[in-house]
Amino acid sequence: MADADFRWTVPADHPAFAGHFPGNPIVPGVVLLDRAILFAEAMLDRPGLTWQVGNAKFFSPVRPAEMLTFTLTAKPSGAIAFAVRAAERDVASGSLTPAAP
């Protein structure tokens, strides 16, 4: 399976901004992981899987209304590698593995 790109614009009114952080809103890493999982399920056409996070690194904060590109790559092991970019900036990367049924 080839790479798949998904685009997502962070809603300016996303509920995570209420507490992360008042006066200086940034997208929590868990929101980026959740979005990567949703895109991995779409890529595999298998919604509702249980996932394990193999690793995740966060390089740069994401602000409200930023447009992100998620690039997902299926590995022979069954893992999905992901990279997240905002314009020319690396935001996050990592790997996800669907748990055995």
Q: What residues are labeled active site?
A: 20
Provide DSSP, the chain.
---EEEEEEPPTT-GGGGTS-TTS----HHHHHHHHHHHHHHHHT-TT--EEEEEEEE-S---TT-EEEEEEEE-TTS-EEEEEEETTEEEEEEEEEEPP-
